[in-house]
Structure 1
Amino acid sequence: MAADKGYMLTGVYLLLMLFFRLSFCRIHHLVLKDDIRQKVHLNTFGFYKNGYMSVNLSSLSLTGVSIEDIDGTTIGFSLDRTSSNGFSTYLDDDLEYCVLKKQPSSEFAVVLLPLDFKKNLVRMRVSAEGGRFPDIIPVIPSGQSTNKSENVLEPSQEDKEGEKTQSTRSRDSSNKAEVTYALQHRDNLYSFQFYFNITTEEQQGLYNFYFHNCYKKQGVETGTLRFNIDISIWEKNPESYLSAGEIPLPKLYICMSLLFFLIGTLWVHVLRTRSADVYKIHWLMAALPFTKSLSLIFHAIDYYYISNQGYPIEGWAVVYYITHLLKGALLFITIALIGTGWAFVKHILSDKDKKIFMIVIPLQVLANVAYIIIESTEEGSSEYGLWMEILFLVDLLCCGAILFPVVWSIRHLQEASATDGKAAINLAQLKLFRHYYVMIVCYIYFTRIIAILIKVIVPFQWKWLYQLLDELATLTFFFLTGHKFRPASYNPYLLLSAEDEEDMEMDDVVTTSTAIGEGLKKVKKVSNGPSEERESMA
């Protein structure tokens, strides 16, 4: 049995390593083959002043149609800036029309980079003038400097200064919204490298980088355009490789880990002082905050390495994924067990309860696998969107499934309060279960909807507030659950179990007394003397 567990853990580790190797995180490397999507979201990153972004399109090839049929507004890139995820971007302005064919409006901060394959040119069109958008600076191949990470370019200081001056001069002299750069071409493979620096506070913001394939939108029926792309993206803020809204996360996760550890220690102290009223599920509840604390510690370590070197240490990342998976499964199992009344009111699960666990546990495993794949896969890959939809659907199903045991318990208590003569106890338990149901609904509603809305609304540098509110909501839910179901003789959750034991003992006494008295009778004995009544054993 131990060997089987060892093989299972080894298999999980190898599976996580396989998923994790798909991405370099903040140093991105994306490879797409035979893709036909019209829009590919390559990346989103929040920049502070003195941050920079470097892009290396090392190879782009097109199949399915002739290059002669592709005009200069069919294939290309767009880069737009917003203050938060919730504000409409330039791409949302008109979804029915190819963005590369538009003339950029001054209302949006956007740069369009359509590729002209006939003339081997990159035509840059900028919407914002007067320094509102950073200069896009091409990198000459002979002047590139290669970083230790594969296929990722970091421009040298000489490139930054020289190319920036040249680009500024050409734009000032031409006074036009379009600037052209050379598109490298070799053996039907096209390449282009560029970078930009955030030089002013006005240029700070959330930058969205897209690749566009507008061939289908032309209405041409001569074939389907497929593209193969190999692109690397390097993003960095002045002191961190994390996006602006993620920089505080390592410290945040460490602080929240300490809070969960403290609440777990407090719960263990309560269990030790009230050992007479402790049930098995109380110890299962104790394991939850400690597992959550470990998960947050490893998450903080993961983000720390990403912040310092642009990519995580694989071992720490895998340990985080394992603890995250255990925490998620343990959370839903504990909520479902409390909802069924297991170990408090009843010591076995009914067939109906077992079916819930047969549904919730596999769904939780699938949800955590989807989360791991999303975390370790580039945003632009075709699998990313699919697993995002799977995660959203499975998470909703899990949240709905864990409510059923609580609803069943409430219904059972409503029926029992009218039939078994213990109305006061049942009503107290009914009130407790209703409160617990409201707690679960509020927790799910806040962490799945309200917190996400806050993430969308707040400015890009305050994006970490979403994680803070999510962790605080979880901490509050743990605390309230422990408070309501703590081991105590006066807890209404435990009254029915204690009352049943008393009734069982009383029944045993009555049954025993009746059995002993079954042979007792009253008789009259007449003596030779005066008449008197006596009781004797028959």
Structure 2
Amino acid sequence: MAVPHIQFSFAAILLLVLLSGCNARIHKLSLKNETRFAVDLNNFGFFANGTLNVSLSSLWLSDIVNYSIYPVGFSLSRSRVNGVLSYTAEETEVCPLTVTKTTNDEPLILFLIDSKNLGVNVSAMGVQDNFLIAKAKSDKPKEKKVTKRADGNGESENANGKPSNTDPKQDDGKEKEEPAANENPNPAGEAKKVEEAKKVEETTFLLNSSVKPILALDKTNGLYNFSFLLVVGPKDQGLYSLKFHYCQNRVPGVKKPYALTVDVVEKNPGESYLSAAEIPLSRLYICMAGVFFTAAMVWVYMLMKHRYSVFKIHWLMAALAFTKSTSLVFHSINYHFINIEGHPIEGWAVMYYITHLLKGALLFITLALIGTGWAFVKYILSDKEKKIFMIVIPLQVLANVAYIIIESTEEGSSEYYLWKEILFLVDLICCGAILFPVVWSIRHLQEASSTDGKAAMNLEKLKLFRHYYVMIVCYIYFTRIIAILLKITMPFQWQWCYEFLVEVSTLIFFVLTGYKFRPASNNPYLQLPLDEEDVEMDEVVTESGALEGISKVKKTSNGRERQKEPAL
């Protein structure tokens, strides 16, 4: 059976294109002509003293909005469990920015953009001890002008209302020589001064229900921008969801466009860019890679020990185990660099995605071949079985490409949810299709056990295939449904256990599959009929891996032997 190398090559090229714009945990999202009423920017698990830095720039609104009627802005809420927000658990139609109080003590922070008065009204609800660091709005003209100069926006005015960057020709000779000496200023030093000036202007607010700070909203060339830094308090650590809302677009028939660019940088204590649930993943993946590599070496030892009972598919199973181990190694390296750099290193990320593609394809190919009995009892696939391979393998490649696109796409983009739905649907189809070869083998053995006189042997094989079918079903249900249900009920810092359960269940499935179809003379899956007279002309069987490709001989009634051509 030919493996579609063209599809793998196309996927590898696609990886390079996608990863070139991937920022991972340092997020930058740009939206143009957007009409969604809510944009999910990110979900992140914060430990105590974790920081959320949000910088909104180039916000364009089609008209000036009244924030008291149809507010525009951000909501930052803590989830009780993963994916279930505290303030949206029951409502579906009300804009979250219009919420005036929460039904529980979960912290909720709203940033309402007042484009008319150039301010951002902050409303904090629930019990919380978070700190907000941002530039407060000031009505004093002097402070506005100093802020403009500190931001490096060109000319600024001094306290007397005169331009501060006067023509040096109007000064005396000493003043004229000074610009020449500083003709090439130090950019790093100037940037440091600007940052220090910004910090001086920033104010720290302890958020609670009684504090209603108003942040400064700058407007340049019709575009709004502001920024804030949130420090998570010791009592408020948890999984937070950041969203942007344009509430007027919730009205039926209203689709007002807007555009924005937002930068989000999230950190946990220790300069870690990973969410609380992702911090242990690098160590988990490298440990599981060692376990899978050990299991692969044990499997190879068994194949060498029973070399006369080894088939090609046994080596394919070994290749799958080694590919799985290699994929986990690159996955661990990928998370390590995201943790310390905030983004993946493209070379390591590409290697991980390539091995991830190969592992996914090899897994479903191996499961389908075992289910059809290929190499163990026959070398020719039926037309129905060939169609399964023609469907499953391309779908698996598509599912893995969808996974790569999801990993490389910002959560706030509209394409993110499209590819997420594609991934879920394709993965579900592949899991269902992989069961058909096993079902066909079970039906064939049921019919054979009652007609050809080899009932005992066929019943043993039938029992084995039924066990294998149950194993596949349990593996699919656990990794696709049960493990996800466990994930959303776990505390935010323990959600890495979902990945641990998936990897352990995969290891158990590999071990049980290897044990069931191990190369051994007493394996009922590999046993042959005892009576050669019962062997059909068109039935192709093998006694051991050493005799692959050689057919059994049919004895005729007159004692002559007719040699059958090897089935390839």
Q: What range is the shorter-chain TM-score in?
A: 0.7 to 0.9
Q: Aligned in 2, Cα 1:199/1:97: closer, same or farther, shift over 3 Å?
A: closer
What is the aligned counterpart of 2:390 among 358, 361, 367? 358
Q: Aligned in 2, Cα 1:188/1:10: closer, same or farther, shift over 3 Å?
A: same
Counterpart-to-counterpart distance in 2, 1:492 and 1:368:
36
Displacement after TM superposition at 1:143 (Å): 6.6
Normalized per residue, the structure richer in helix is 1
What is the aligned counterpart of 2:332 among 275, 291, 300? 300
What is the aligned counterpart of 1:93 among 64, 69, 90? 90
Displacement after TM superposition at 1:75 (Å): 1.1
CA contact (8 A) 1:58 1:192 kept: yes
What are the superposed Cα offsets for residues 366-407 of structure 1, whole Å, 9 maximum, x if unpaired?
A: 100100000010000000000000000000000000000000
Counterpart-to-counterpart distance in 1, 2:246 and 2:135:
24
Is 1:215 aligned to residue 248 of structure 2? yes
Q: Aligned in 2, Cα 1:210/1:489: closer, same or farther, shift over 3 Å?
A: same
Residue aligning to 1:368: 400
What is the aligned counterpart of 2:310 among 278, 281, 301? 278
Displacement after TM superposition at 1:38 (Å): 1.2
> Considering only aligned residues, what root-mean-square deviation do their CA atoms show, in Å?
2.8
Residue aligning to 2:319: 287
What is the aligned counterpart of 1:236 among 267, 277, 295? 267
Residue aligning to 1:123: 121
Counterpart-to-counterpart distance in 2, 1:336 and 1:72:
59
Q: Aligned in 2, Cα 1:215/1:307: closer, same or farther, shift over 3 Å?
A: same
> Partner amino acid for 1:84?
V
Question: SS where residue 525 of structure 2 aligns?
Answer: helix
What are the superposed Cα offsets for residues 191-215 of structure 1, whole Å, 9 maximum, x if unpaired?
A: 1100111242x12111100001111
Question: SS where residue 13 of structure 2 aligns?
Answer: helix
CA contact (8 A) 1:104 1:126 kept: no
Residue aligning to 2:132: 136
Counterpart-to-counterpart distance in 2, 1:177 and 1:52:
20
Is 1:196 aligned to residue 230 of structure 2? yes
Counterpart-to-counterpart distance in 2, 1:95 and 1:17:
39
Counterpart-to-counterpart distance in 2, 1:16 and 1:438:
35
Counterpart-to-counterpart distance in 2, 1:11 and 1:393:
22
CA contact (8 A) 1:50 1:237 kept: yes
Name the stretch that deviates more: 338-347 or 100-109.
100-109
Question: SS where residue 414 of structure 1 aligns?
Answer: helix
Counterpart-to-counterpart distance in 1, 2:31 and 2:552:
74
With the length of structure 2 as denominator, give the TM-score of the two structures: 0.81
Question: SS where residue 105 of structure 1 aligns?
Answer: coil
Residue aligning to 1:112: 110
Counterpart-to-counterpart distance in 2, 1:128 and 1:304:
35
- Taking only the aligned residue pairs, the percentage that are identical comes to 53
> Partner amino acid for 1:189?
L
Counterpart-to-counterpart distance in 2, 1:282 and 1:506:
22
Counterpart-to-counterpart distance in 2, 1:193 and 1:498:
80
Residue aligning to 2:23: 24
Displacement after TM superposition at 1:463 (Å): 1.1
Q: Aligned in 2, Cα 1:75/1:301: closer, same or farther, shift over 3 Å?
A: same
Q: Aligned in 2, Cα 1:499/1:135: closer, same or farther, shift over 3 Å?
A: farther
> Partner amino acid for 2:125?
S
**Residue-pair matches, total:** 491
* Pairing of 1:381-460 with structure 2 (within 5 A): 381-460=413-492
Question: SS where residue 389 of structure 2 aligns?
Answer: helix
What are the superposed Cα offsets for residues 103-157 of structure 1, whole Å, 9 maximum, x if unpaired?
A: 032613100111111111111111024xx14122224877789xxxxxxx9x979
Name the stretch that deviates more: 101-110 or 84-93.
84-93
With the length of structure 1 as denominator, give the TM-score of the two structures: 0.85
Question: SS where residue 111 of structure 1 aligns?
Answer: strand
Question: SS where residue 67 of structure 1 aligns?
Answer: coil
Q: Aligned in 2, Cα 1:373/1:264: closer, same or farther, shift over 3 Å?
A: same
Name the stretch that deviates more: 493-502 or 413-422.
493-502
Counterpart-to-counterpart distance in 2, 1:156 and 1:247:
30
Counterpart-to-counterpart distance in 2, 1:411 and 1:276:
30
What is the aligned counterpart of 1:467 among 489, 493, 499? 499
